[in-house]
Structure 1
Amino acid sequence: MMTDRTDLGETGIDAQKRAALDHLYDAWAEATTEGVDSDVFVHAALFVALAEMVETYGEVAVAELAASLPTRIQSGEFTVRRLYQ
């Protein structure tokens, strides 16, 4: 039985973000099952994401976001699995 995310206190935009991530993980799993290399999938996903963002927000805004990525990545914002000792 699937748990309704609202039962977990997740509503609105949080639920949409979680659903979107679930769809991406499912697509990734399906692609790798069909023989698509993970690196190829990652590059394609980044291309689609950036192209959609440029279409929505414009090149300048997306370039500013991209410029902020090194600091955000190095600070662990995108680290899903962390090793604790």
Structure 2
Amino acid sequence: MFKLPEKTETARPPNEAKHLALRYILEAWEEAVYDGIDPDCVATAAIFAALSDMISSYGEEPVAVMCERLPERIRAGEFTLSKTQQ
């Protein structure tokens, strides 16, 4: 189990904060899979948690509009962490 870092008064640049957040999520994901939870279950729970949080912050319609753009973003490789080169 990992420990959250102490909160500091200085704000991180947005890109750095996103990378740090992704690292935390991926570490939790790996821990869940290591503990025997099916990756599809982890993925479903992560998507649900993300969408629920975004809806709480922005409302249903803006999140729905963002989700409408997901197919083209996925096809463009925006969510691909490692690309296979041939």
TM-score class, shorter: 0.7 to 0.9
More helix by share: 1
3-state SS of 1:76 partner:
coil
Shift of 1:61: 0.1
- What residue ranges of structure 2 are gaps of 5+ in the alignment? 1-11
Q: Provide the residue aligned with 1:83 in structure 2.
A: 84
Q: Provide the residue aligned with 2:27 in structure 1.
A: 26
Q: 1:36-59 CA deviation, whole Å, 9 max, x = no partner?
A: 110000000000000000000000
Q: Provide the residue aligned with 1:49 in structure 2.
A: 50
- What residue ranges of structure 1 are gaps of 5+ in the alignment? 1-10
Shift of 1:84: 1.4
In structure 2, distance between residues paired with 1:19 and 1:25: 10
The list of structure 1 runs, each at least 4 consecutive aligned residues, that deviate by more than 2 angstroms after superposition, is: none
Number of aligned pairs?
Answer: 75
Shift of 1:30: 0.8
TM-score (norm 1): 0.83
**Greater RCO, 1 or 2 (C-alpha within 8 Å, sep 6+):** 2
